[in-house]
Chain A
């Protein structure tokens, strides 16, 4: 079952097509990465999913149902550009935002108390948002986004502007919510974050999906015969000949690129022939960043 299905979704603005015939599925209970550079159409897509705008063409299904007026209550959205009422107190503000998501005063109060305790910020209730630091405001914003227990959470660049401690705090919360069954869409242009967090991704560029699937599978598909070696002794650079190229070489390890038609066995055999003691040997899979650059290069051509 898919929490979200997009079918041939199109969003046009005056002079350009922000989302151009996009289709993909997001399975329930997954942390799903939506990747792409700025202007790829991620935010336009999110705005359609959150009912802020409407698709010009195509269908958006939440949990199998076409998008309707009740869905926004089941979605939690942390926008990239975030803001709060500066002059309002943290407590009042969170209550207000929670009640706009359909919670009763009492439920909202209880849930908020739980979250404030969890983040150890119960004493912020009567503080004005303007008095908090930017990182602190992000925590408040995160609570506003999750307080109504959404079944789908959309996080647009959730870690931008957070220090490492708060990044980890939020990351842990994301994992925990996911463990409790919340599906999560994680939109970012920072590829390395996705590799750590997401199981499945979709890669967008210029309004189109260029790549989608399981992160591991994608990486395997894009393996490019790079190997990392650790060994004792001097590296016999003469033995490589034209078949291999050293990409990186330092005291501990080196990265070697096998050229077209040559493989790891050939490399190992050669090294063993020279009696070099190999401590470790592993394939270096390309980073999503590399894959992205490769893919976008192709789609731009």
Chain B
């Protein structure tokens, strides 16, 4: 056992002490954050240059519309179109909107926008939206509705789920949404972690085989010790990286909250305005509160340890196969790639099932693939937030654990032969023979 510890120690420290590890650990989250920041920046920013648009109102809608929408500033005018066009040419205004008279019998209403430059997508949709309610109101009035009736015509529809058994936790309208979101994030992370660190195991094993150090190592330790040491060592590297990310993430988000929340004056005024707007909007505010409340009703104390259990099971399962692949493959890249598909196909399939399971966690496909070991480590964590029955979780963990033991055994059979086999192409037929080999 002490030898396995030595191997784990080497695998761990030689990776953790490298610059690459430091860079990926500290720069990857920054890179991801930057990516999202830039994305959000461009998406929310849209058109920012103020446009002065003059409205020629022949429909009598003017008093019912806001005179400022995002970057658009409106102005009413009694001047003729020709006069306004002169103003446009002089550069005093950026565009002219012509509202034709309303006709309640027409189901199409054509607003004319005079300018040499077309409106941006967000600008035209803002204008369309701005006029849709006044026009509808106009038509309704024309059909004989009273103003008081109009005020009541909009209905906010919400489905509120109610539990049948009183012991079940209380459900709210967004329970499904929140648990899908959590599940989706967890499933994605697990898939990438298993894939990234699994292929590190493969490369590590293959490197040892190709530079022939394995011959020296195998004369001191058993192949299975070497394999397990490598798999566990690299798994710990993964856990370390995620531990650091978790700590960094919470520190940064607490810091960000403190910064934006308490020190609002210091922050970027535009962002502030947006946040203030969002917070001022009671609908958004209540949604946020609901999401937070919903998140807090999830049994994290049980679910987070289960995430780790599934990470360990999934990682051990796939990493040992990756180790066998690394041992079987020679220095031919194509050969390694062909062998890698054996691992990647089920893993990718599990990931796709996981995505669909995030949307419908209780579908037959989701339930079964969260019990079958090959896909369970990725699919079950996705379902956990939506509270699957306990027996499914227990069955799935037990089956996975048994399968992990089986896969480690199987992989070590291939590993011990493959690692010493040079110049022989590892076909699948060949691999099957290796499993049966005696020592």
Contacts and interface: CB of A to CB of B under 8 A. Distances in A.
Contacts of A73: 220
A14 B433 contact: yes
A176 interface: no
Interface string A33-76: 00000000000000100111110100000000000000011010
Which of B3, B10, B219: most chain A CB closer than 10 A?
B219
Contact of A88 (B14, B214, B215, B420): B14
Chain A interface size range: 20 to 34
B13 to A, nearest CB: 9
Interface in B84-130: none
A87 B217 contact: no
A82 interface: yes
Nearest to A96: B10
Interface residues of B, number: 20
B213 interface: yes
Contact of B216 (A54, A79, A92): A79
A79 B215 contact: yes
B212 interface: yes
B14 A82 contact: no
Which of A54, A79, A83: most chain B CB closer than 10 A?
A83
A73 B216 CA distance: 12
B6 A100 contact: yes
Interface in A66-109: 72-73, 75, 77, 79, 81-88, 92, 96-97, 99-101
A7 B216 CA distance: 25
Nearest to A77: B219
Contacts of A54: 438-439
Nearest to A52: B218
Given A87-B14, A96-B10, A100-B3, A56 B438 contact: yes
**Does more than half of chain A's interface fall in helix, strand or loop, or is it mixed?**
loop
A85 B3 contact: no
Contacts of B3: 100
Contact of A82 (B10, B216, B221, B420): B216
A51 B219 contact: yes
A43 to B, nearest CB: 10
A82 B217 contact: no
Contacts of B14: 85, 87-88, 92
A19 interface: no
A83 B219 contact: no
B219 A75 contact: yes
A50 B213 CA distance: 15
B41 to A, nearest CB: 40
Interface in B425-439: 433, 438-439
B147 to A, nearest CB: 79
A53 B439 CA distance: 6
A99 B216 contact: no
Given A14-B433, A54-B439, A100 B217 contact: yes
Contacts of B220: 72-73, 97, 100-101
A144 interface: yes
Contacts of B439: 53-54
Interface of A: 14, 47, 50-54, 56, 72-73, 75, 77, 79, 81-88, 92, 96-97, 99-101, 141, 144-145
Given A53-B420, A100-B221, A144-B216, 17 more contacts: A50-B219, A52-B215, A72-B220, A75-B219, A77-B216, A82-B213, A82-B216, A86-B211, A92-B14, A96-B6, A97-B216, A97-B220, A100-B3, A100-B217, A101-B220, A141-B216, A145-B216
Closest 6 CB pairs of A and B: A83-B212, A83-B211, A100-B220, A79-B215, A54-B439, A50-B219
